[in-house]
Chains A and B, each alone.
Chain A
Amino acid sequence: MAFPSTGVLDTFDRANSTTSLGANWTADAYGEGQGSLGVISNTAYSSDATTRSNFWNVADYGPDVEAHCTLSTASSDYIGLGIRLQDTGGAGGDVDGYAVEFQTTSIRVYRLDNTGFTQLGATITISPALANGDGVGAEMSGTTITVYKRVGGTWTSEGTRTDSTYSAAGKIALQIDLNTTRVDDYGGGTIVTSIFPLPDVVGDLRRNAVYRM
């Protein structure tokens, strides 16, 4: 199954804000007391030199779930993608689930237990470093978490981790560390499995175009 199977949920194409990511987002995805991400120039960002996070409050997704986004402006600061998050939006300190942290040269996968982060396995090294316009993503299918990068329009797996602690559907989230990185085209949701091959829409258009010429 190709990654991603889900489309973009938010392009952040709206007015700038230092304190809100929009009505579909709620601040403090991991119960750490973090403020909300904001919007600048149609991208998501952290409006100050802190880590900020939001979860997508529209629905729970999964249990087989994915999240992905584009690094409009990549930097050495980290971004995080949360999946299968439970107990988000409460008083804090009790969020369970999984988070994947991407830096331009490394990836770390975490399990959250009551907002405590435990790294699963080794730190994954990315080479060459991620650059502006590249994408990052994560999916959890069953007990396997797979992390991805997108370079030149092609998604590739960068590694897997196994954990069976949290198996229920949950929220998906976005976290950005400090205020240099810009994120665009956040997507995700329940992994879509199709028993039929998806139509090759682009190919059809190309063939049609040639035919008409």
Chain B
Amino acid sequence: MAIAWFICLYKRRISVFGAHVAIRYTAMDDFTLNIGADGGVWSETEVLGNQAVVKVRASVATFATIAATAGFRRLPVDRLNDSLSSLSVAEKLALRTVLTDAGYTLAEVQAALGTDLGTRTLGDVLRFMATRRLKPRYDVLSDTFVLDGAVQACRSVESVDAEVQ
């Protein structure tokens, strides 16, 4: 059993709450049975950009399966206090792009984390990523979830970290 952090999207499925109602769920729930079969567990915090930061305890084989699935990104180190100094320039750029793709401006990223993510830890990046999210709503006419509501606080990364040991 090992620990890994992932970023993944929220997905949509028809709810068991009546056939006409859709629900959002963390895509990691598609792997709940795999993770459970390992004796593992996962927990998440919803962040900006219809995404979740997810901590998982499972087998290395399950991590490989998840990471190979479209829409999942395994983060390059596994502990919140792990430094990002070992990341290549390309890996650091990719991680920064994750933040800007989520909806943070480059100015926000650089103000919070500086211009070189190599000087930061995984925890620094994830805590920044969980700075805010937008309140979702279900639009009946288009049958889609729209994230255009008020700014909401995110569940703390520390809370997620503590739940999965």
Q: Which of A93-115 contact B (CB under 8 A)?
A: 93, 99, 101, 103, 108, 110, 113-115
Q: Which of B96-136 contact A (CB under 8 A)?
A: 135-136
Q: Which of A110, A121, A163, A175 contacts B23 (CB 8 A)?
A: A110
Contact B149 A32 (CB under 8 A): no
Q: A114-B149, A177-B16 are in contact. Are A162 and B163 (CB under 8 A)?
A: yes
Residues of A within 8 A of B136 (CB): 113-114, 116, 118
Mask, B7-41, CB within 8 Å of A = 1, is 00010000111101111111011001001100001
Would you give the shortest CB distance from A99 to chain B, in whole angstroms?
A: 8
Give chain A's interface residues, CB within 8 Å of chain B: 30, 32, 34, 50-51, 78, 80, 93, 99, 101, 103, 108, 110, 113-119, 121-123, 125, 162-165, 175, 177
Contact B26 A121 (CB under 8 A): yes
Would you give the shortest CB distance from A132 to chain B, in whole angstroms?
A: 20
Give chain B's interface residues, CB within 8 Å of chain A: 10, 15-18, 20-26, 28-29, 32, 35-36, 41-44, 46, 135-138, 140, 145, 149, 152-153, 155, 159, 163
Contact A177 B17 (CB under 8 A): yes
Q: Which of A34, A80, A122, A164 contacts B32 (CB 8 A)?
A: A122
